[in-house]
Structures are given as structure tokens and as C-alpha cells.
Structure 1
Amino acid sequence: MSAAAPIGGSVDDWLDWQLALHDTEIELGLDRVAAVARTLEVLPPPGRSVVVAGTNGKGSCVALIESLLSHHGRVGSYTSPHLWRYNERIRIDGAPVADTDLCAAFAAVEAARGGVALTFFEFGTLAALWLFARAALDFLVLEVGLGGRLDAVNVVDGDVALVTNIGLDHVAWLGDDREQIGFEKAGIFRAGRPAVCADRDMPASIAERAATQGTPLAVIGRDFDLQAQDDRWCWRDGDAALDIPAQAGVLVENLAAALSVVRRLGAAVRDEHVIAAARVQAALPGRRERVVDGDVAIIYDVGHNAEAIAVLVDDLARQPVPGRTHVVLGMLADKPVEAAGGRLRDLADALYIAGLDTVTDRGLPAAALAKRLASDAPCHPDPATALAAARAASAAGDRIVVCGSFFTVANARRQTLSCRT
């Protein structure tokens, strides 16, 4: 029997209690969350909704869509995980919810659940929907936590569905090839409601799911695209088109998909909207975030699978530095460590292996990570210590890359918050 809910407690009190509420951190399925959602009366949510699934780029696409829609009304968004504070996961009009509102939402979910053992993510998803139901919102943008078909967010019937890209991640729950994973991600599709896919090598299972479900599917490179022409970007989607100056720090697939999603919601987009959205996405913390520390640049990236690391490596290869590249790497035990490490080999002149076991129960100790990487690089107990070692070994013209997990970036980044950006 779980301890009593911390009514009147802080956000941290509630989060600690939620972690102990369910026997496991992850248990896929919609029955529990749907039952409580009915009691809370949070479905359907207010306004028009977008549900976003995929392996990488979900958070960036949510930020882009959120910014683009903000010119047409009030927007709520839900993402995970957070980097600094849990409140980051739930935003209304671009601002994280206040502690008092979040605690009120947690208390409402607790009063409604009637003994249902919700997982940590399910509890938070219901809290977000409760807050959104009480705001006069015009749009919702909701990021799937894991997979799609059986994820708690899929309790919402999105007016538009977006699948960003498909890679090998969470294979224990979603399957060990792109076709199986694509099928799970496409579980957010709804009959007669449009869907957008931003994967240029889309698994056939996504198209098959759309056809079976009766979902109109637009695919990047076939139905819409954004292409570079000199120093400008040209977006085309049917009879819609935009030509804007190229924007640094934004993946064209993410922006192209965001624009196509917004179009399918019936919202017009102007050049200045796109430029503003691109700047919002480029400034997201932990997404190729660049911080200058003296004569050395530190790049923080939360990428935690081979595909995300490949994007990071390619991006940095286009921005060479005169000195060496030092890589601080910490990863979770259930991630594709070997594949991600292989992507980093050509980038790293020096590797610093960081343990995450002291940061999260799912984290790999440094020695275990080194073994899986078949590396004799120095091991450090945590990312902050590894970053300190990298900084000590760096010289003018070098750069440091911190990557492998949200936990890696959060732990290391806290040590350099005072750095000049």
C-alpha cells in the first residue's frame, strides 16, 4: 500500500510520491489513464490538438509548432523529459506552469484516480490535461513519451498527428527494427484526420498503418519539403509556399514538418512567424546548445541514440575548430550505447566517460559504459566531474561536446550556468 498523497506538499514531494505509486517506471497501455481521464472530464481537450511521436526531434517540433500557433491563439504544450524543473513539461502561452497550479493538478488527479496505480508519466500526463482543460486554449501540442500506440498521450485523439523520424530506441518495448517501431509510432493516427511524417526513409509500416486506419498521410520529400537555395529556404506543401532566409541551428525536416502540421490545422503562416519559431527552436537548452567558457566552446546535446548522435556529429563536422574536440559521454543502460559510441569515434579527439548511476537508477556506471564501448578512455563518476576534466585538458581553439542523455547534460550543465553565452 502506498503512502498517503502529499496534499499541501511541494512539487518535489509530489514527484517523489508518484515515483513510488506504481511497481514499474514504464507500463504501456491506455486503460488506466483513460479511466482516470473520464473521471477528470478532461477529454476531449480544449481547442485543436497536435500529437507528436517519433524517435528524435519531437521536442524541437513541439517548440516550432507552439511558436507558429502562438500567432493564432492561446497554446498549451506538453513535453518530456525536462532538463531543469518538472514544470518545463507543461507550458501555457510559452511559460512553464507555476508550482501552485501544478500541485493543484496533481491533487485533482489523485482525487480522481480511485486507487488506479498510475505510472509517473501517466500521472503527469493527466495533470497536464487537467490544467489545459481549465485554460481557455485554442491549440494543444502534445509530445508522446514512448512509442505512440500505447503511450498515455495517445488517449487524446489529435486533430493532426506528426511522426518525426524512426530510429532504434526503446527496443525492449517497441521492437528491434524500424518497421516494428514505425508501426508503434503510427498508432497516434486517427481515421479521417491528417498525419505528417518527417522521415525521409519512412518505414513501410507507417504508410500501411495510415492506409488501414484511413488517415490522410503527407510525407516529406513527396508531399512537402523545405530545401536550401543559396542562403534561403524554400518550403512547398501542395499549393502553399514560403521563401525565407536560412536559419541557423534548425533542422530543415523539423521546420518543414512543423509548417505542414500548422497548415493542416488551417492556420496561416507568414515569414516573420517562421523566423521567430526557428529562433525559439534554435535556443532550446540542450539541443546543440553552445556555451562559451573562456577560449573554449562547450556544446551540450541531449541526443541519446545513434540517429541523434549522427545528426550532432554531422552538424559539428560542418563547423570545424582549429583545436581538438573533447567528448564527455554518459548514457542510460537501456540505450544503444555501442551504436551511439561508434558514431562519436570520428568526432572525438579525447573521450571522457561519465557515470550516470549516481544521477539516475537507469544510468550506466562509468566502468560499465567503458566496457560496452570497448574503450580505455578515462572514467569519471558523473558528468560534472568528467566535464571538469575536459575543461582542464582543453586549450584555446578546442571545443567540448557533452552528450548521451538528458541526465548527462543536466548534471554537467549545472556546473557552467555562470558561463557567458
Structure 2
Amino acid sequence: MRQLSQWLEHIESLHPSHIELGLDRVKAVAEKLDLLQFSSPVITVAGTNGKGSTIAVLEALLAEKGLSSAVYTSPHLLRFNERLRIKQSELSDECWCEAFAAIEKGKGDIGLTYFEFTTLAAFYLIKQHSCDYVLLEIGLGGRLDAVNIIDNQCSIITSIHYDHEDWLGHDLESIASEKAGVIRANTPVIAGDNQVKQLISPYTDTNSCYAADNIDEIIPDYSLTMELPFLGKLHPNSLRSAVLAADQFNLSFSEEELKRAFSNVDIKGRWQKVYDSPSVWLDVAHNPQAIENLIGKLSQHPEITEWVAICGMLKDKKALLALSVLQPHIKQWLLVPTTGPRGLSSAELKQKLPFCDEQNSQIFNSEKAAIDNAISHLPKNVGIIGFGSFLVVANMVEYFQQKTVG
């Protein structure tokens, strides 16, 4: 009998492509296994950035009302089991193995990618548990993403910016059309801001569409100042999008309920503080918009007078260019490698960053080496921000967890 790690290796070996957009294959298997409909309302979240944060806030809001949720997100940071939470808890390896066995048996000779196979397994597990709401995060794009085989009663599009352009298009209008593919006719749509609302407007003729920017007009009792204590950790549009989505299901919240719910949101790898002396934060910012958002997060800490960046990035031209926006805020760059077909060695990364020279940058062969170098000699007024690809940040989260335990 396969263990979880063996199942994941097996699933990864089944299909030659890591990504193959299209719904025909995954939908055929879902139909065979009766996985296309859930008995609870579904809220689907798409967008370039802010999906995981918005879902986490929505999950906390539902819990504040005593309502349960099944939450599917991707990718995971440290453990595969993170991808699915039922009533705010991860499921066991054994549950996942049972689900994988069911998908393997049900798919017959239909080829599935890793994401399609694991998404169907998540849907299989969701159907086994009774929850009040189902919250689904799109993996890539929207229209042709495996998650989009499920019809929703409300959709959220958090942001539209450049990322995964080889699959989604090279201009914002094309990217918007892909993300708007999650919208269902005659259902409410929440846009992360007015720019998103404008970009998706060609696809919302039959929908009521609300922009998070305008929440105080839609929910007059909503206090914008109430958000202030949470803005270092959560983007205001994530808070507002989640509240607006809940409002579509006639869920209203007092200011105290909102504060409690927002306080309970904990997302690893999203502006996560992992060390105190010196102060270290980690963030999975890896595309232009997310990198620009880091500047606002840095500004939330006036006690930090200088910043050191530990950074590992994939071969994404626009993301690499966006790093120049951070340059005025970073005193020293410690560059680490990424792996895989789109990976960059630390030396290659340095070559692609014209602002890096011998004085303001160093290259390392691992996240551990860069971290050890940084925390060994920095004073308290210097902060460290570790960011970049998910795997780079995951390695750093794991390192600091072990360091804390040790």
C-alpha cells in the first residue's frame, strides 16, 4: 500500500507535462466519480495575487459566525496536506491516500496532470465531509484551470497583473479574460479593486459586480480605520473582498467580529515574521505586482532603518525587472539559487540584476548559507526580507522552524 510520498511521486510521473490547460480530461473523470457538484455554496477565488489571503480571511469570517468551510488552495508551502482544510484542520495522509486510490481507479486510461489528479482528490475528500461553504482557489488563470470544473455561487477576482504570461497572455486584457472564466452567469462577482472591475466588465453583463475599493459605499457600517492594525500582514483588498463575498450570502459582521476574525488569520509565507533579533520576514512575492507590494510592507516598520534582501527567483523577465523597484529600499542583496527548468543559479540571478555589484550583493549556494551570513552580524535596526519563489521561501520557513525548535 502506497504512502503519501509514494502517491505524490507516482502522480507526478503519470503525465509528461506539469501544466496542460484544458477541462475535458479532468471533467470526464469528475463526471465518472460524481465530483462535479457540492451540496454547499461554492466561492471561487482567482487573481494574480491575494488569492490565498482572501480565502484565509473568508475562512476566518465564516468561523466567526460558527460556519464551517472546506478550503482548497495551492501550492502548498511545506506539506502537501496544507492544500485542503476541512473545518480549519488538515486531513491525514491516510485520507489523501484513500482519495488518490479512488481517482486512480476512476480515471481509467485518461491522462491527468499532477494538479488535475490532486485537485480531483481534494474534491473527492470535500464530498465526504459536510461543510457550510466550499472555498476554492484557482491554480493558474481561471477559464481552463481544473478547479473551474465546479460551478460557483460567487466569484472573487483579487487582482490582475503580469504572471504566467506564456499561458495567460501578454497584456492585461488577455489575462483578465482568462481569470474572468471563473464567473458564472447571474452570480455576484467581487473585484479586488476598481481596475479589476473595469478589466472584467466585458464578462459581467449578467452579474452584480462589486469593487473592494468601494466597500464603504456597499456596506456603510464598514470602518476603513478598523483595518489599520492588520495592514502589515494583510492587504486591505483581501479583507474587503472577503467581507463583500460574505455579504452576498447575507452574512453581516460587527466591528468586533471583524477584528476577531482578522486577528485569527495566519498565512505562512505571506509577510510572516520568523525571527526577532535581527527581525526577519518571509514573503512569497515572485511577480511584479507582489514585489511592488513589498515596498508598502517595508514601510510599515519605521524602526527598521536598513533592509537586507535574501532573494531567489525563477526566469521571469518582468519579475526580474520589477526587482529594480525594490532597489532603493534594500541595502544588501543576498542571492540564492532556484531549481527546475525555469531555475536560476545565484550567479545567473546576479547577472540579470544590473543594480547588483560587488559592494551591494553576495551570492550563496543555499538559503541556509545566506541566512546564517545575515543573522550572524546584523544589528537590531536592520531587517531581513526573504522572498521569491515558493520553494525558496519554503526552505527558509523550514530552516527557521528547525532553528526555533533547536
- Where on the TM-score scale, by shorter chain, does this alignment land: which range? over 0.9
Aligned to 2:75: 81
Say whether the 8 Å CA contact 1:337–1:373 is kept in structure 2.
no
Provide the rounded CA distance (Å) in 1 between the counterparts of 2:320 and 2:14: 33
Shift of 1:72: 4.4
Aligned to 2:281: 299
* Residue identity in the other structure for 1:383: E
1:368 aligns with 2:348: yes
Provide the rounded CA distance (Å) in 2 between the counterparts of 1:78 and 1:273: 24
Aligned to 1:389: 373
1:308 aligns with 2:290: yes
Aligned to 1:44: 37
Spell out, residue by residue over 1:75-109, the C-alpha distance to the aligned partner (whole angstroms, 9 max, x if none): 10000111110000000001111111111111111
Aligned to 2:152: 158
Say whether the 8 Å CA contact 2:197–2:210 is kept in structure 1.
no
Spell out, residue by residue over 1:237-287, the C-alpha distance to the aligned partner (whole angstroms, 9 max, x if none): 256646773332222111111000011123233334322321233x31111
Q: 1:169 to 1:62 in 2, by over 3 A?
A: same
Say whether the 8 Å CA contact 2:222–2:255 is kept in structure 1.
no
1:336 aligns with 2:318: yes
SS at match of 2:42: strand
1:24 aligns with 2:17: yes
- The partner residue of 2:177 within 167, 172, 183 is 183
Shift of 1:203: 6.5
Spell out, residue by residue over 1:132-185, the C-alpha distance to the aligned partner (whole angstroms, 9 max, x if none): 111112100000000001101110111000000111000110011111111111
- The partner residue of 1:264 within 223, 248, 254 is 248
Aligned to 1:3: none
Provide the rounded CA distance (Å) in 1 between the counterparts of 2:317 and 2:388: 9
Higher mean Cα deviation, 145-154 or 314-323?
Answer: 314-323
Say whether the 8 Å CA contact 2:336–2:364 is kept in structure 1.
yes
For structure 2, the 5+ residue unaligned runs are none
* Residue identity in the other structure for 1:91: R
Shift of 1:217: 1.4
Q: 1:137 to 1:368 in 2, by over 3 A?
A: same
- 1:278-293 equivalence runs, <5 A: 278-281=262-265, 283-293=266-276
1:149 aligns with 2:143: yes
Aligned to 2:126: 132
Q: 1:210 to 1:104 in 2, by over 3 A?
A: same
TM-score (norm 1): 0.89
Say whether the 8 Å CA contact 2:35–2:124 is kept in structure 1.
yes
More helix by share: 2
Say whether the 8 Å CA contact 2:44–2:152 is kept in structure 1.
yes
Provide the rounded CA distance (Å) in 1 between the counterparts of 2:131 and 2:101: 22
Aligned to 1:69: 62
Say whether the 8 Å CA contact 1:148–1:187 is kept in structure 2.
yes
Shift of 1:393: 4.2
Percent identical among aligned pairs is: 34
For structure 1, the 5+ residue unaligned runs are 1-7, 226-234
* Residue identity in the other structure for 1:153: V
Q: 1:277 to 1:363 in 2, by over 3 A?
A: farther
* Residue identity in the other structure for 1:48: P
1:412 aligns with 2:401: no
* Residue identity in the other structure for 2:135: V
Provide the rounded CA distance (Å) in 2 between the counterparts of 1:218 and 1:337: 29
Higher mean Cα deviation, 308-317 or 366-375?
Answer: 366-375
Higher mean Cα deviation, 310-319 or 329-338?
Answer: 329-338
Q: 1:243 to 1:165 in 2, by over 3 A?
A: closer
Provide the rounded CA distance (Å) in 1 between the counterparts of 2:377 and 2:317: 28
Provide the rounded CA distance (Å) in 1 between the counterparts of 2:402 and 2:260: 26
Provide the rounded CA distance (Å) in 2 between the counterparts of 1:314 and 1:290: 16
* Residue identity in the other structure for 1:37: A
TM-score (norm 2): 0.93
1:327 aligns with 2:309: yes
